[in-house]
């Protein structure tokens, strides 16, 4: 359990550095699989005719589904499929990790057939005292999602809590 965590100038220096871009695909199969996996039953996620009748170009991506990263052996992270070493990392030395949650804001529709370009950056670093974990380092990551037409269609803010 960490008693004190100092956010150093080296740690702060990574804030705002944008990762290499990575391509995500949105397919009818991936939309259906995600919707099924989380228990959605609305036909717009499964049937093209229902989706078009509801005003979509194709099957809409369900909430929080931002496509599937294209995996390239040797270039992709085995854990998350994005690019290996695409951006700076923070050397904090803390062994434990908790998911602090993710917020997604949409600016446009994401539908099957879209090709998305995703980048991310550390947006903020902070510390907080936990009741049972001791001091925690909270990293906030901003992910931007741009479609094949160059339009920003979504932004996510996610927090990781290290202790």
Q: Place 9 in a pLDDT band, splitting at 50, 70 and 90.
A: very high
Superfamily of domain 9-162: Hotdog Thioesterase (3.10.129.10)
Q: Place 1 in a pLDDT band, splitting at 50, 70 and 90.
A: low
Helix count (H) and strand count (E) of the chain?
3, 6
| Closest residue by Cα to residue 156 from 111, 112, 123, 115 | 123
Give residue-wise pLDDT tens across range 83-141: 887 777 888 989 999 999 999 999 999 999 999 999 999 999 999 999 988 999 999 99
**What pLDDT was estimated at residue 76?**
87
Give residue-wise pLDDT tens across range 70-84: 999 998 888 878 788
| Closest residue by Cα to residue 20 from 76, 87, 74, 117 | 87
């Amino acid at each position: 359990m960490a008693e004190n965590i100092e956010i150093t100038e080296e740690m702060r220096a990574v804030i705002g550095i944008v990762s290499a871009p990575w391509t995500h695909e949105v397919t009818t199969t991936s939309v259906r699989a995600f919707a099924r996996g989380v228990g959605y039953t609305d036909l717009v996620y499964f049937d093209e005719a229902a989706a078009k009748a509801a005003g979509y170009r194709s099957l809409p991506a369900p909430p929080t589904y931002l496509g599937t990263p294209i995996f390239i052996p040797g270039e992709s992270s085995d854990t998350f499929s994005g690019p290996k070493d695409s951006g700076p990392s923070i050397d904090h030395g803390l062994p434990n990790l908790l998911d602090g949650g993710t917020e997604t804001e949409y600016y446009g529709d994401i539908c099957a057939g879209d090709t998305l370009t995703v980048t991310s950056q550390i947006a903020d670093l902070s510390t907080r005292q936990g009741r049972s974990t001791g001091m925690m380092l909270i990293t906030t990551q901003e992910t931007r999602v741009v479609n094949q037409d160059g339009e920003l269609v979504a932004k996510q803010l996610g927090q990781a809590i290290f202790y």
